[in-house]
C-alpha cells in the first residue's frame, strides 16, 4: 500500500516538473521572439530613416584617378532609381539650351581583378584609352577607381559583354548642351558632381539641382537665333583680321532683356576639359576695358544736361590742346572750330575734353556713378568685374575719361549706359531672364527726355555723316558711335599696335527698340581697310550685317523715304553753304543760324 502511494506521488511530482519546464520554455521562446521582433523593428526604423526621412540617394566615394583633374574629389554613387536632379534651361522661345541625360559610368575594384594586364588591354581597345594608364589603375590596390565617366549605351553594352569581374556600372547624369560653343559663356558648365561652376548654371545652381515635378525650366531672355547669327558674324571678322578675341551684345531697349551675349574665343561645355582654360574667360562681363570714343556719348549727355553747353554750342579744335605737361590730339583733326554735333560726329578728343572740363570733375564723377559706371552691373550673373577708375579725379583724368581713356568698364556697362541715354533718359535694370523685369518700377531718371532726344540725333549724324557711315542700312535708320582705344601694356604705356575697336548702335534711332554692341580685340588692318584697324573700318560693318539680318528675323519692317531730322537736313544744307558762299568770318558750317534754329527744341 505504501509503495502504491509513493509511486503515485512520484508521478504527480514528475507531471508538475514537466509543466514547469514547458512553461519556462514558453517564456524563453517568447523572450527570444520578442528580441527578434525588436531587432527587426530597429532595422525597419533605420531603413525608413535612411530611405524616407534622410533620403540619401547616394553614397560618397573619393576619386583616385592618376590622370583625372578632379583627383581626390568626393562624388556621389547614386541609386539606379535616382531621378534626374537638374532642371532644364531654355531660350525665350522655348528652345532647349541645357538638359540632363542618364548615362552609365564604369568603375573598378582593383582588388577583385584577376588578370589586370588582360583587362587593361581589352578596356583600352574598347574605350579608346591609354593602356598604360588603365593598367596602373587596375593595379593600384585601392577599392574604387573610375575607368570612364558617361559611357554611351553602346560602350556600356560592350564593356558589360567583356564579363570582367570587378567592373561595376554607376548610373549618373550627364549635362548636355545642344548648341555647344554658341552659348558657352552665358550658360556656363557643371562639374563632375553636377554642380554649376559658371554662368547661369552657377547663378541658379540650387534651383536647377532641386526641381519639383511640376517646375518649369529656367527661361532665359536670349534668342538662340540672334546668338548664333551674332557669333557667326563676329567669328568671321576675328578670323579675317587676325584678332585675339571679340565681344558682342544685343539688348532689347524696351524691356532691358539681353537677347544675345557673345565672347570669343569660346569653348564647348560638353567637352570643356579639351579646351584652353583661357577660353572660359567671359569678356562681356569680366573684361574691363578702356572703351575709347564710345564714351564720348556720356560726355555729350552730361555737357548738355548740366547746362555747361548745348547742341548749339561748340569748342575750338584748331590745334592740339595742352593740359599741363600733356597734349591732347585729334586722330583726324578738322583744325577749326567745331560745334557739339561736329565734335561727336567727327569724334574730336579736343572738343570733348574741353567740354568735360567746363562741366568739372565733381559733376563728371557724380554723373558716371549715377549711370552705373563706378560699380558692377546689377544683373543675374555670377561673374562680374568691377570698373577701374582713378582715386583722385584730376583735370587730366577729367579730360581723358571724357573720351574713354583712364577708366575701364565692362561691355555690359557700356550697353546699359548707352541704353539709358537713348531710351528717354532712365536707367533700367538689365536682365538675362525672359520677363525678368516684369513688375519692376520705372528706372531712375539720369538725363532729361530732351537730352535723350539730342543724343539720338547725334548718334544718327555719326552714321549718316560721320565715322559710322559703314553701319548705315536703308530702311532701319541706325544711330551709333565708333570707338578705337589703344590698349595699355606693361609699364603703363599705350600700344598703338594693340587696339580695342568697337561700334555701338541703336535702331530704329527715332524710337530705339534694340541696341547692338560689337567689340573686336586687337584686329590687324589689311588692304580692305587700307591698313586701318579702327571701329569705323572693322566693328561698324559687323553691326551693319547683324542689323540687316535682325530686322527680318524679328519682323521689323523697314521704313523708306523717311524725312531727315533737322540735324541731318541742316548739316547737308550748311555743307553746301560752306562750299559755295562761306564768308571770311565763318567758323563752321554747323554754326549757320538756320541750323541753330532747327536744333533749338
CATH number of domain containing 150: 3.90.1310.10
From the number of C-beta atoms within 10 Å of its C-beta (0-12, 13-18, 19+), residue 82 rates as middle
Q: Domain check: are 390 and 408 in the same one?
A: yes
Q: What is the Cα–Cα distance from 265 to 281, expressed in whole angstroms?
A: 8
Residue 56 has what pLDDT?
A: 40
Q: What is the Cα–Cα distance from 168 to 146, expressed in whole angstroms?
A: 10
HEC per residue, 85-116: CCCCEECCCCCEEEEEEEEEEEEECHHHCCCH
Question: Which secondary structure element, helix H or strand E, spans residue 581, and what is its range?
Answer: helix 566-581
Least trusted range by pLDDT, from 129-143, 251-265, 394-408: 129-143
Determine the 3-state secondary structure of 428 from DSSP.
coil
Q: What pTM value is reported for the model? A: 0.80
Q: Is a pLDDT exceeding 50 seen at residue 594?
A: no
Read off the pLDDT of residues 7-34 as tens digits, 9 standing for 90 and up: 554 555 555 666 667 777 776 777 767 7
Is position 270 within any domain?
Answer: yes
Question: Which secondary structure element, helix H or strand E, spans residue 247, and what is its range?
Answer: strand 245-252
Which of 49-53, 81-85, 234-238, 568-572 has the highest mean predicted lDDT (pLDDT)?
A: 234-238
Residue 586 has what pLDDT?
A: 33
Q: Domain check: are 436 and 350 in the same one?
A: yes
Residue 80 has what pLDDT?
A: 46
CB atoms within 10 A of CB 573: 15
Q: Is a pLDDT exceeding 50 seen at residue 582?
A: no
Domain region containing 179 = 74-219
Distance in angstroms between the alpha carbons of the first and the last residue of the chain: 147
Read off the pLDDT of residues 455-490 as tens digits, 9 standing for 90 and up: 999 999 999 989 999 999 988 999 999 999 999 887
Residue 152 has what pLDDT?
A: 87
Q: What is the Cα–Cα distance from 352 to 390, expressed in whole angstroms?
A: 19
Read off the pLDDT of residues 306-346 as tens digits, 9 standing for 90 and up: 999 999 899 999 999 999 899 999 988 999 999 999 999 99
Is position 593 within any domain?
Answer: no
Residue 74 has what pLDDT?
A: 44
Q: Domain check: are 272 and 367 in the same one?
A: yes
Residue 66 has what pLDDT?
A: 44
Read off the pLDDT of residues 271-295 as tens digits, 9 standing for 90 and up: 876 677 889 999 999 999 999 999 9
- Which residue is listed with cell 550673373? 381
Residue among 142, 124, 126 at smallest CA distance from 134 = 124
Q: Domain check: are 472 and 430 in the same one?
A: yes
* Distance set, CA 549 to CA 226, 229, 497, 539, 554 (Å): 9, 8, 32, 16, 9
Is position 14 within any domain?
Answer: no
From the number of C-beta atoms within 10 Å of its C-beta (0-12, 13-18, 19+), residue 145 rates as buried
* Distance set, CA 445 to CA 66, 252, 522 (Å): 58, 19, 36
* Distance set, CA 13 to CA 8, 9, 22, 215, 330 (Å): 9, 6, 14, 78, 129
Residue 73 has what pLDDT?
A: 44
Mean pLDDT of 192-216: 86
Residue among 44, 150, 68 at smallest CA distance from 104 = 150
Read off the pLDDT of residues 345-369 as tens digits, 9 standing for 90 and up: 999 999 999 999 999 999 999 999 9
Is position 475 within any domain?
Answer: yes
Q: Is a pLDDT exceeding 60 seen at residue 375?
A: yes
Residue 273 has what pLDDT?
A: 67
Instruction: Give me the CATH number covering residue 365.
Output: 3.40.710.10
Q: Is 293 a catalytic residue?
A: yes
Is position 249 within any domain?
Answer: yes
Tally of structural domains, the chain:
2
Q: Is a pLDDT exceeding 50 seen at residue 541?
A: yes
* Confidence grade of residue 77 (pLDDT, cut at 50, 70, 90): low
Q: Domain check: are 488 and 378 in the same one?
A: yes
Least trusted range by pLDDT, from 56-70, 395-409, 429-443: 56-70
Nearby residues of 506 by Cβ (< 8 Å), 6 or more positions away = 253, 418, 419, 422, 456, 459, 478, 479, 480, 512, 514, 515
Is position 106 within any domain?
Answer: yes
* Confidence grade of residue 211 (pLDDT, cut at 50, 70, 90): low
Q: Is a pLDDT exceeding 60 seen at residue 255?
A: yes
266 close to 279: Cβ distance less than 8 angstroms: yes
Find the angle CA(53)-CA(55)-CA(57) to the nearest 5 degrees: 170
Q: Domain check: are 171 and 234 in the same one?
A: no
Q: What is the Cα–Cα distance from 239 to 409, expressed in whole angstroms?
A: 25
Determine the 3-state secondary structure of 585 from DSSP.
coil
Determine the 3-state secondary structure of 218 from DSSP.
strand
Which of 18-22, 38-42, 122-126, 234-238 has the highest mean predicted lDDT (pLDDT)?
A: 234-238
Q: Domain check: are 283 and 161 in the same one?
A: no
Q: Is a pLDDT exceeding 50 seen at residue 525?
A: yes
Residue 561 has what pLDDT?
A: 73
Residue after which a domain boundary falls, among 547, 562, 577: 562
519 close to 328: Cβ distance less than 8 angstroms: no
List, as one string, the DSSP characters of 33-45: HHHHHHHHHHHHH
Is position 375 within any domain?
Answer: yes
Q: Domain check: are 412 and 503 in the same one?
A: yes
* Distance set, CA 581 to CA 577, 584, 590, 592, 593 (Å): 5, 9, 14, 12, 14
Residues β-bridged to residue 499: 486
Q: What is the Cα–Cα distance from 351 to 331, expressed in whole angstroms?
A: 12
Catalytic residue of the set 184, 293, 408, 502:
293
* Confidence grade of residue 214 (pLDDT, cut at 50, 70, 90): low
* Confidence grade of residue 41 (pLDDT, cut at 50, 70, 90): low
Q: Domain check: are 408 and 546 in the same one?
A: yes
Residues β-bridged to residue 520: 246, 501
**What mean pLDDT is reported for the chain?**
85
Residue 596 has what pLDDT?
A: 34
Residue 429 has what pLDDT?
A: 96
Q: Domain check: are 189 and 324 in the same one?
A: no
Q: Domain check: are 172 and 193 in the same one?
A: yes
533 close to 525: Cβ distance less than 8 angstroms: yes
534 close to 482: Cβ distance less than 8 angstroms: yes
Q: Is a pLDDT exceeding 70 seen at residue 597?
A: no
Is position 46 within any domain?
Answer: no
HEC per residue, 320-387: CEEECCEEECCCCCCCCEEEHHHHHHCCCHHHHHHHHHHHCHHHHHHHHHHCCCCCCCCCCCCCCCCC
Q: Is a pLDDT exceeding 80 seen at residue 119?
A: yes
Q: What is the Cα–Cα distance from 29 to 121, expressed in whole angstroms?
A: 59
Residue after which a domain boundary falls, among 219, 236, 257: 219
Q: Domain check: are 113 and 211 in the same one?
A: yes
Residue after which a domain boundary falls, among 184, 202, 219: 219
* Distance set, CA 568 to CA 101, 432, 571 (Å): 57, 36, 5
Q: What is the Cα–Cα distance from 538 to 524, expressed in whole angstroms?
A: 9
Query: What is the percent of the chain with per-residue pLDDT over 90, rounded to a whole number?
Result: 62
Amino acid at each position: 500500500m505504501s509503495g502504491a502511494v509513493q509511486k503515485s506521488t512520484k508521478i504527480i511530482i514528475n507531471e508538475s516538473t514537466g509543466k514547469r519546464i514547458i512553461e519556462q520554455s514558453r517564456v524563453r521562446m517568447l523572450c527570444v521572439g520578442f528580441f527578434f521582433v525588436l531587432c527587426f523593428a530597429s532595422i525597419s526604423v533605420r531603413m525608413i530613416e535612411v530611405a524616407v526621412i534622410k533620403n540619401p540617394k547616394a553614397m560618397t566615394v573619393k576619386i583616385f584617378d592618376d590622370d583625372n583633374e578632379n583627383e581626390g574629389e568626393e562624388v556621389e554613387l547614386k541609386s539606379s532609381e535616382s531621378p534626374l536632379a537638374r532642371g532644364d534651361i531654355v531660350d525665350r522661345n522655348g528652345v532647349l539650351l541645357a538638359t540632363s541625360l542618364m548615362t552609365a559610368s564604369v568603375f573598378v575594384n582593383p582588388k577583385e581583378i584577376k588578370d589586370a594586364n588582360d583587362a587593361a588591354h581589352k578596356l583600352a581597345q574598347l574605350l579608346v584609352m591609354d593602356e598604360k594608364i588603365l593598367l596602373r589603375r587596375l593595379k593600384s590596390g585601392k577599392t574604387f577607381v573610375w575607368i570612364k565617366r558617361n559611357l554611351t549605351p553602346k560602350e556600356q553594352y560592350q564593356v558589360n559583354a567583356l564579363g570582367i569581374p570587378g567592373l561595376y556600372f554607376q548610373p549618373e547624369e550627364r549635362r548636355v548642351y545642344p548648341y555647344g560653343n554658341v552659348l558657352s559663356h552665358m550658360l556656363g558648365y557643371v562639374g563632375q558632381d553636377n554642380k554649376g561652376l559658371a554662368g547661369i548654371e552657377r547663378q541658379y545652381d540650387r534651383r536647377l539641382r532641386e526641381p519639383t515635378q511640376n517646375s518649369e525650366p529656367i527661361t532665359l531672355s536670349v534668342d538662340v537665333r540672334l546668338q548664333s547669327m551674332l557669333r557667326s558674324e563676329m567669328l568671321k571678322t576675328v578670323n579675317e583680321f587676325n584678332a585675339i578675341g571679340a565681344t558682342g551684345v544685343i539688348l532689347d531697349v524696351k524691356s532691358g532683356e539681353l537677347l544675345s551675349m557673345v565672347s570669343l574665343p569660346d569653348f564647348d561645355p560638353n567637352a570643356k576639359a579639351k579646351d584652353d582654360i583661357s577660353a572660359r574667360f567671359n569678356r562681356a562681363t569680366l573684361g574691363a576695358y578702356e572703351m575709347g570714343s564710345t564714351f564720348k556719348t556720356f560726355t555729350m549727355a552730361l555737357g548738355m544736361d548740366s547746362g555747361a553747353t548745348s547742341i548749339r554750342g561748340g569748342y575750338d579744335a584748331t590745334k592740339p590742346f595742352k593740359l599741363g605737361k600733356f597734349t591732347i590730339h585729334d586722330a583726324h583733326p578738322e583744325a577749326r572750330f567745331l560745334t557739339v554735333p561736329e565734335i561727336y560726329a567727327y569724334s574730336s578728343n579736343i572738343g570733348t575734353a574741353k567740354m568735360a572740363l567746363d562741366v568739372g570733375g565733381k559733376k563728371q564723377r557724380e554723373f558716371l556713378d549715377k549711370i552705373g559706371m563706378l560699380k558692377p552691373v546689377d544683373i543675374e550673373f555670377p561673374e562680374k568685374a568691377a570698373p577701374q577708375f582713378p582715386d583722385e579725379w584730376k583735370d587730366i583724368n577729367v579730360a581723358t575719361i571724357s573720351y574713354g581713356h583712364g577708366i575701364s568698364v565692362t561691355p555690359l556697362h557700356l550697353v546699359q549706359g548707352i541704353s539709358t541715354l537713348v531710351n528717354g533718359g532712365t536707367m533700367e535694370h538689365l536682365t538675362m531672364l525672359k520677363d525678368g523685369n516684369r513688375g519692376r518700377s520705372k528706372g531712375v531718371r539720369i538725363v532729361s527726355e530732351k537730352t535723350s532726344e539730342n543724343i539720338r540725333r547725334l548718334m544718327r549724324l555719326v552714321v549718316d555723316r560721320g565715322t559710322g557711315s559703314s553701319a548705315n542700312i536703308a530702311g532701319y535708320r541706325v544711330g551709333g558711335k565708333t570707338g578705337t582705344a589703344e590698349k595699355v601694356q606693361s609699364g603703363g604705356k599705350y600700344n598703338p599696335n594693340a587696339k580695342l575697336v568697337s561700334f555701338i548702335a541703336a535702331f530704329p534711332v527715332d524710337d530705339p527698340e534694340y541696341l547692338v554692341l560689337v567689340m573686336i580685340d586687337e584686329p590687324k588692318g589689311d588692304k580692305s581697310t587700307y591698313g586701318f584697324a579702327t571701329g569705323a573700318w572693322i566693328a561698324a560693318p559687323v553691326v551693319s550685317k547683324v542689323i540687316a539680318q535682325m530686322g527680318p528675323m524679328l519682323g521689323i519692317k523697314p521704313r523708306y523715304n523717311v524725312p531727315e531730322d533737322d540735324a541731318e537736313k541742316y548739316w547737308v544744307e550748311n555743307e553746301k553753304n560752306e562750299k559755295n558762299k562761306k564768308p571770311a568770318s565763318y567758323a563752321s558750317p554747323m554754326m549757320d543760324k538756320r541750323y541753330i534754329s532747327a536744333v533749338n527744341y
